[in-house]
Amino acid sequence: MTRPPTIWAHVADQSDLDGMVEVVDRLHLENVPCDLVLTGPSGVTHSDFDVTPLTSFDPKGRDIQALVWMDNAVNTRVLGQSFRSGMPVILANIATTLLQGEPSVWQKPLAQSALKSARFALVHTAQDRDYLLSLGVDRRAVQVTGILQGCGLPPSYDAAERQDIVKAMTGCQIWFARGVPMSELDIVLDAFDQARRSVRKLVLFLDPMVETDAPAMAQAARSRNLTVAERAVEGVPEATTHVFVTDGAFERGLWYSLAAATYLGGTLNGEDCANPLVSAAVGTALIVGSNAPKHHAALARMDAAGALTTVAQADDLGTSVAHCVRPETAADFAHAGWTMVANAAEGINRTVDLIKDILVAEGQT
């Protein structure tokens, strides 16, 4: 069986890696087969990909069709070797501050020739573009796309079913607790009890981290005299439902789309947690604990954009839920998340298009 072509990405940090993984995910969604190999510094990790130190990586013998270089510390040796081998190079996330800080290097013809060998250069700002042009990079190669970072792939859902649930739950405020481990169940139910004292018709969509925990979670909610519906039993919630226990990873897009606010399960007790960028992509206010075990770069970006609220301890969760499900608050968070996503989307989209063009030119698609 013929292996798909390989894209090599060299990343500088976790945000770069997240962006590149999303590029490849997008390519797969568009039925463009490709593999991804990654080089980068220690400490940059991903559950599905190994990250090899650049000094230990040998591209020879691999079917590498393109190199995406995402490190401001531009390596002229690697770029020069890639160019001589005929490998197309895409520079991405190149902010020229470091280049300008080493004028004695970049005024040399050898360094400039390595930089000019890039097929494309995607830069943050017009100032970055102008500096690369001053070094002799082809004007047609340089494009201002903003930063290439993950922006979250919004999960799909059945729009007709969503509309039916919206009609059935008119006037309800929905809080989605995404991927809740059993260790946080009482925390979430306590927070729900607290929040619904001040939020009229609050409904908790309770999503188990482990699908087989759904019956136990439903029983725990019933033991608190709450009206419970289960996706696996009743199918859909009603206006009188207090807690709706979801079932199945493939339907989470539906629950995200209905929620005014989402709590990212696992972030209070430091257990596994989902990608927080999804909440920004679908436009729901995100609540996280202060003990998230991963996705730190994405969470930091969302925090800087004003797209999430962090609870320091379990007792604060109910107060945060009551605040975040308010329409005006939820709208503010949704706007901040959408703005962040839009700023990253152009870089993602352009990189996807460039890689597709390269693979077509090489006869790989």
Query: What are the tens digits of pLDDT across the range 252-298?
Result: 999 999 999 999 999 999 998 999 999 988 889 999 999 999 888 88
- Give the 3-state secondary structure of residue 109: helix
The average pLDDT across 197-208 equals 95
How much is the pLDDT for 152? Answer: 79
Greatest Cα pair distance in the chain? 76
Cα-based distances in Å from 65 to 31, 34, 83, 205: 17, 9, 12, 45
Q: Is the pTM of this model over 0.75?
A: yes
| Mean pLDDT confidence for 78-84 | 88
Q: Is residue 360's pLDDT more than 80? A: yes
The model's pLDDT over 53-76, given as tens digits with 9 standing for 90+, comes to 999 998 887 889 999 999 888 888
Taking only the tens place, the pLDDT of each residue in 155-182 is: 888 999 999 999 999 999 999 999 999 9
In the block, residue with structure tokens 């894209």? 7
Distance CA 30, CA 348 (A): 13
Q: Do residues 254 and 162 make contact, with C-beta atoms less than 8 angstroms apart?
A: yes
pLDDT, mean over the chain: 90
pLDDT in the model for residue 105 = 75
Q: How confident is the model at residue 1 (pLDDT cuts 50, 70, 90)?
A: low
Q: How many CB atoms lie within 10 A of CB 30?
A: 10
Q: What residues form DSSP beta bridges with 139?
A: none
Domains in the chain: ranges and CATH: 6-149 (3.40.50.11720), 159-341 (3.40.50.2000)
Report whether pLDDT(346) > 60: yes
